[in-house]
Homo-oligomer: A and B are copies of this chain.
Amino acid sequence: MGAGTSSDETGPAGPTLRRETSRLLSFSDGVFAIIITLLVLDLQPPRVGRGQLLHALVEQWPAYLAYVTSYVYVAVGWLNHRAAFNRVENSGKALQWYNLAVLFSTALLPFATSVVSQAMRDGDQADQRTGVVVYGLVGVLVSVSWLGLYHYLARHHDLLDQTVPLRFFPAERARAAIGLLGYALAILVGFFTGPLFALVIFLLLPAFYSLTSSGLYELRRLRHPRR
């Protein structure tokens, strides 16, 4: 469907393509919903002797911290997904695979969360370094997959709602690149200076994403629609 007919709801191939995009969205919403809920499976009542539940629950604080961090990370990922695909009018095979890559890397977060929280709780210094590197690598992978998706959309303006400003997806791509650098930095910091510094970066990165996410655009658009 060319740019000339992109706003034509009754165009020849229109409804079918719209249904395809809608299934991409419902499938992705499902995967994000499952990932964000699977994170909680890492929180388990500790198997301890009688009378030691309170102590054991307090001791698994890294699991709670990891849960919060990863929850915010996945939530931001879903908000980014929503913000990106709200601007997409048509989806082809390539976009499907870019999207599947984002879901693939995001689905690794519960595993990485589990590794790092177990390492902080039970491991020695070497294990904690390993845990931090694993989480950082998954963070790098997630950033790379977003970078790919944003790059593709920045280069295929014909797939987008024609009111999306040309600079939107290049800006998003820059944001993903910053995330990539951030997680790479956290790996180095965690490896050379200590896992706790890396954990702080892991906590800050989703906050950064959340604050810089496309809210401003949306807000502006709400106030001055299609001007």
Whether A27 contacts B29 in the complex (CB less than 8 A), given A51-B123, A222-B90, comes out as yes
Q: Given A218-B92, A218-B93 in contact, is the A53-B126 Cβ separation under 8 Å?
A: yes
Q: Which of B33, B44, B75, B127 meets A114, CB within 8 Å?
A: B44
Interface 0/1 of A55-86, CB less than 8 Å to B: 00100000000000001000100110010001
A185 sits at the interface (CB 8 A): no
A119 to chain B, nearest CB (A): 6
- Residues 161-179 of chain A, each 1 if its beta carbon lies under 8 Å from chain B, else 0: 1000000000000000000
Among A23, A45, A114, A213, the most chain B Cβ lie within 10 Å of the Cβ of A45
In Å, the complex CA distance between A18 and B184 comes to 38
Q: Is A202 positioned at the interface, with any CB of B under 8 Å from its CB?
A: no
The interface on chain A, measured as residues whose beta carbon lies within 8 A of the other chain's beta carbons, has a size of 72
Kindly list chain B residues whose C-beta atoms are within 8 Å of the C-beta of A200: none
Residues of chain B lying within 8 A (CB to CB) of residue A12: 225-226
Counting CB contacts under 8 A, is A111 at the interface? yes
Q: Which of B40, B41, B127 contacts A54 (CB 8 A)?
A: B127
Query: A122–B103 Cα gap in the complex (Å)?
Result: 29
10 shortest interchain CB distances as A-B pairs: A30-B33, A12-B225, A13-B225, A93-B215, A53-B127, A34-B37, A43-B111, A54-B130, A45-B115, A50-B124
Q: Can you sample 29 A-B contacts with CB below 8 Å?
A: A1-B222, A12-B226, A13-B222, A13-B225, A16-B86, A20-B86, A30-B30, A30-B32, A30-B33, A30-B34, A33-B34, A34-B37, A35-B37, A37-B38, A41-B41, A44-B111, A44-B114, A45-B111, A45-B118, A45-B119, A50-B122, A51-B127, A53-B119, A53-B126, A53-B131, A54-B127, A57-B130, A79-B93, A79-B96
